[in-house]
Amino acid sequence: MAEIVSLREAVAELVGDGDTVAMEGFSHLIPHLAGHEVIRQERRHLTLVRLTPDLIFDQLIGMGVADKLVFSWGGNPGVGSLHRFRDAIENGWPTSLEIEEHSHAGLTNRFVAGASGLPFAILRGYAGTGLVERVGNIKSVQCPFTGETLAAVPAINPDVAIIHAQQADVHGNVQMWGLTGVQKEAVLASSRSIVTVEEIVQTIELRPGGVVLPTWAVTAVAHVPGGAHPSYASGFYERDNAFYSEWEAISRSRESFLSWMERNVLEVGA
């Protein structure tokens, strides 16, 4: 049964230094405020996992939370670079960042294997790319039935998955809808999970196309309205595209980044 707790308690109890932490949400339902809480609690040496490291990972990396990043596309969609991500990789600021990169299909299937209790996943992927030589976790396997050669990637089983959803009920059952990315797989692949939600209702009304995580499959639920901003929560608020554009200037220099984080994250309570 998921416990309904404050975000501060959830992060304090479930995210430890050195953990592998997946924060998922593909454009939609990105757990920004949970990421801010991880920054405020000064976690260190995390391995961060996410298909599309966007602004929240730029912030986590720039604040020195991570030693390693596992990802498949690191940019500010439609705007340009993630400057803190680039500064870490190109210049080792604020600390050096080890990277392991995949394609979306490859990293997605790492989560699928993790959620399925399998040691690895197969896919038609990575053929002819330089990633095969650069990334130790991309190998090939022969189909025992057809003899065909396919790409193989190991399961990923994070210590903690953190996601944002539209709603939970008072028992901790979670429902999300719209674009749901790989959040279900991330939660089921991980040892522990934190779900922040826009609202807590008495009883969930099942929605067509809604994705439900039953309470016994979730560790903690926290009521965090607005927790996905500047990404969006379908049915609650739209993507703040203007902020994504503004992040370009805020994040370009270390000084303006740190000053923004000080004012907007560190000085703000959970």
Residues that bind another protein (CB under 8 A): 26-28, 51-52, 71-75, 77-82, 85-86, 89-90, 101-105, 108-109, 111-112, 123-131, 134, 148-149, 178-182, 184-185, 209, 211, 232, 234, 238-239, 241-242, 244-246, 248
With respect to another protein, which residue has the nearer C-beta, 43 or 164?
A: 164
CB 109, min distance to another protein, A: 7
CB of 128 to another protein, least distance (A): 3
> Both tokens of residue 76?
């500010």
Q: Which is nearer to another protein, 209 or 269 (CB)?
A: 209
Cα 62 from Cα 259, distance rounded (Å): 12
The least CB distance from residue 45 to another protein, in Å, is 21
Q: 3-state secondary structure string, 152-221?
A: EEECCCCCEEEEEEEEEECCCCEEECCCCCCHHHHHHHCCEEEEEEEEEECCCCCCCCCEEECHHHCCEE
Residue 238 or 262 with smaller CB distance to another protein: 238
Cβ-based nearer residue to another protein, 95 or 241: 241
139-142 sheet: strands from edge to edge: 120-123, 149-154, 139-142
Query: Residue 214 or residue 235: which is nearer to another protein going by CB?
Result: 235
Q: How far apart are CA 172 and CA 175, in angstroms?
A: 10
Q: Which two tokens stand for residue 170?
A: 């008072």
- Could you tell me the two tokens for 115? 């959620």
Report, in Å, the least distance between residue 177 CB and another protein: 8
Minimum CB distance to another protein, residue 269 (Å): 29
For residue 49, which of 32, 28, 66, 63 has the smallest C-alpha distance? 66
Rounded least distance, CB 168 to another protein, Å: 20
Whichever of 64 and 178 has its CB closer to another protein, that residue is 178
Q: State how far the Cα of 127 lies from the Cα of 76, in Å rounded to an integer.
A: 27
Residue in the structure block whose two tokens are 């994705």: 211
Q: Least distance (Å) from another protein to the CB of residue 88?
A: 9
Question: Which CB atom, from 41 or from 234, has the smaller least distance to another protein?
Answer: 234
Any idea of the CA torsion for 51, 55, 60, 62, to the nearest 10 degrees? Answer: 120
Q: What six digits make up the tokens of 236?
A: 């609650």
